[in-house]
Amino acid sequence: MNNILDSFSLKGKVALITGASYGIGFAIASAYAAAGATIVFNDIRQELVDKGLASYKEIGIDAHGYVCDVTDEAAVQKLVATIEKEVGVIDILVNNAGIIKRIPMCDMTAEQFRQVIDVDLNAPFIVSKAVIPGMIRKGHGKIINICSMMSELGRETVSAYAAAKGGLKMLTRNICSEYGEQNIQCNGIGPGYIATPQTAPLRERQPDGSRHPFDSFIVAKTPAARWGTTEDLMGPAVFLASDASNFVNGHILYVDGGILAYIGKQP
């Protein structure tokens, strides 16, 4: 048996991580680079791509960055063709780009609902559809969809986000079903509550200096009694992108500190 750690190597692989100028995508891309992959990322604005390129350079990663709105199918098709020409055929896709709107459902407009569905569910379909033909030509591929606690649970004010992330769980299972025979593994990562810009409003200190009630709530709901960090996601993401997971397909790997298993600490 060769060294089992070799099966976690991403050496020689091209990885596209969407929306990865910062946050969870940036952490996953950094982990992939450390495992040997060539990093490609996109973001919606040039200044964000430039910021991301500088951040990657700061940690010694020579990433390839492109401006692309993942909800724009023509732009995504063009992006993938450009990547294949300039970098190489994509071996690993992480559908990470995402937004959330925290609005009570009856106050949310249909347009606002559609915007969230567009980025968090339609876009993973669009990008996966653009990338899969290259993976089939190569004879292998890894697609990792960034799901959520809201792929399993609802909560007030996140109806669109929960609908999208629930749908993304089933899109993950369907890509597994449809392309498993072409040696494409499609899995999801379901992060718990992670300290990033997206959750900053849920953690900000109150005017009296006390913790945000939601901050205390999540700590009580998490056996690890803490928020997750983007670093907590790195190992699971490398596993799902590597040969070590070649017989793992259609699975949502929850990296949540145990939230889904726990009724929560008695107040």
**Six token digits for residue 111:** 């347009």
- Restricting to residues 13-32, which ones interact with ligand NAP according to CB under 6 A? 18-19, 21-25
**Least distance from C-beta 214 to ligand GCO, angstroms?**
8
Residue 161: active-site member: yes
- Restricting to residues 194-253, which ones interact with ligand GCO according to CB under 6 A? 198-199, 202
- 19 binds ligand GCO per the rule CB under 6 A: no
Q: Which one of the spans 56-64, 132-140, 145-153, 174-182 is the region binding ligand GCO (CB under 6 A)?
A: 145-153
Sign of the CA dihedral with 250 first, then 123, 163, and 213 last: positive
- 100 binds ligand GCO per the rule CB under 6 A: yes
- 83 binds ligand NAP per the rule CB under 6 A: no
Distance of alpha carbon 106 from its chain centroid, rounded? 28
Asked if 40 and 20 count as a contact pair (C-beta separation under 8 A), the reply is: no
**Least distance from C-beta 200 to ligand NAP, angstroms?**
9
- 191 binds ligand NAP per the rule CB under 6 A: yes
**Residue choice 23, 188, 192, 257 for contact with ligand GCO (CB under 6 A):** 192
**Residue choice 44, 119, 158, 171 for contact with ligand GCO (CB under 6 A):** 158
- 97 binds ligand NAP per the rule CB under 6 A: yes
Q: Where are the beta strands (DSSP E) in the chain?
A: 14-18, 38-43, 64-67, 92-95, 141-146, 184-191, 252-255
Which DSSP symbol is given to 44? S
The binding track of 129-148 with respect to ligand NAP, each residue x by CB under 6 A or -, is -----------------x-x
**Six token digits for residue 235:** 């190992």
Task: Please enumerate in sequence order all residues whose Cβ is within 8 A of that of 190, keeping only pairs 6 or more positions apart, or say none.
Answer: 147, 148, 149, 151, 152, 169, 252, 253, 254, 255, 256
| Separation between Cα atoms, residue 62 and residue 58, nearest integer Å | 9
- 141 binds ligand GCO per the rule CB under 6 A: no
Which DSSP symbol is given to 147? -
Angle (nearest 5°) at CA 75 between 143 and 127 = 15
Which DSSP symbol is given to 167? H
Q: Which is nearer to ligand GCO, 100 or 121 (by Cβ)?
A: 100
**Residue choice 14, 15, 53, 70 for contact with ligand NAP (CB under 6 A):** 70
**The one catalytic residue among 56, 161, 179, 254:** 161
| Separation between Cα atoms, residue 252 and residue 47, nearest integer Å | 33
Judged by the rule CB under 6 A, the positions of this chain that interact with ligand NAP are 18-19, 21-25, 42-45, 48, 69-71, 96-99, 119, 146, 148, 191, 193-194, 196-199
* Residues assigned a catalytic role: 161
Judged by the rule CB under 6 A, the positions of this chain that interact with ligand GCO are 100, 102, 148-150, 155, 158, 161, 191-193, 198-199, 202
